[in-house]
Amino acid sequence: MAALWVLRALRGLCGAALFLSQLSVLSGRAGSLMTTKLSQPQSTLAKSLTSTSTNTPYFKAAESTEIPPYMIKCPSNGLCSRLPPDCMTCNTNYSCIYGKLATFDCKVKPHVHCVDENNHEQENFTINMTCQFCWQLATSDYVCTNSTNCMTVSCPRQRYNATCTVRDHIHCLGNRVFPKMLYCNWTGGYKWSTALALSITLGGFGADRFYLGQWREGLGKLFSFGGLGIWTLIDVLLIGVGYVGPADGSLYI
């Protein structure tokens, strides 16, 4: 009886051990399954982030294609010696002798293309020009602003402050834009021949003064019959020598 009881106890222990082993196996599978399910969204998120960062386009800095302002004045593939001064950089020598011919080494600016006499492209070249400053040039070598607020017919003759700019094909030393005092020399369109003809023929009625814009003097001559002829003769002489001019202070044409 004792042996039978021991045998049954051993069977019970074996069954309990088998149950516990199966339970541990099942719990291990369930834990691995849960870990796998939880790791899948993280791996998916990581992949999506990786793919997003990988597929993000790389924008390069746009290269500057802006054309310099001086290119408007620079002809393409022209002679280097005939380029405007704005298209080149020269090593000017201010110790040259005034009025004498001087040679300067020059180099074209970026984006400027020019050739020599043999149609070969070059960057470094020499130019010949007279040694003088820009404000010493002849009046035909620069253009100045005009003033319509000064009197051209006055004693002494009036001057005005003008801003002058050297022409593109002229080379000189110093600033190419400079101030200068000039005589008033603008015109309003009045003709000297017309004023003189009116003074001779209809001067007794003040027609010459009306034509020149001097309506007060014209009324005086009209109602005084030309100052009984004396005023008319004086105006003929004054207009003839150019002493009496337009009321706006301009020159005759």
List CB contacts of 137: < 8 A, sequence separation 6 or more: 166, 170, 172
pTM of the model: 0.50
Rounded to 5 degrees, what angle do the CA atoms 189, 212, 242 make?
85
Q: Are the C-beta atoms of 160 and 182 separated by less than 8 Å?
A: yes
> For residues 24 and 242, which has the higher predicted lDDT (pLDDT)?
242
Each residue of 156-189: pLDDT tens digit?
Answer: 777 888 999 998 888 888 899 999 988 877 777 7
Is the bond preceding residue 41 a cis peptide, omega within 30 degrees?
A: no
User: What is the spatial distance between Cα 169 and Cα 84, in angstroms, rounded to a whole number?
Assistant: 5
Mean pLDDT over the full length of the chain: 77
Q: Are the C-beta atoms of 195 and 212 separated by less than 8 Å?
A: yes
For β-strands 142-144 and 159-166, DSSP reports them as antiparallel
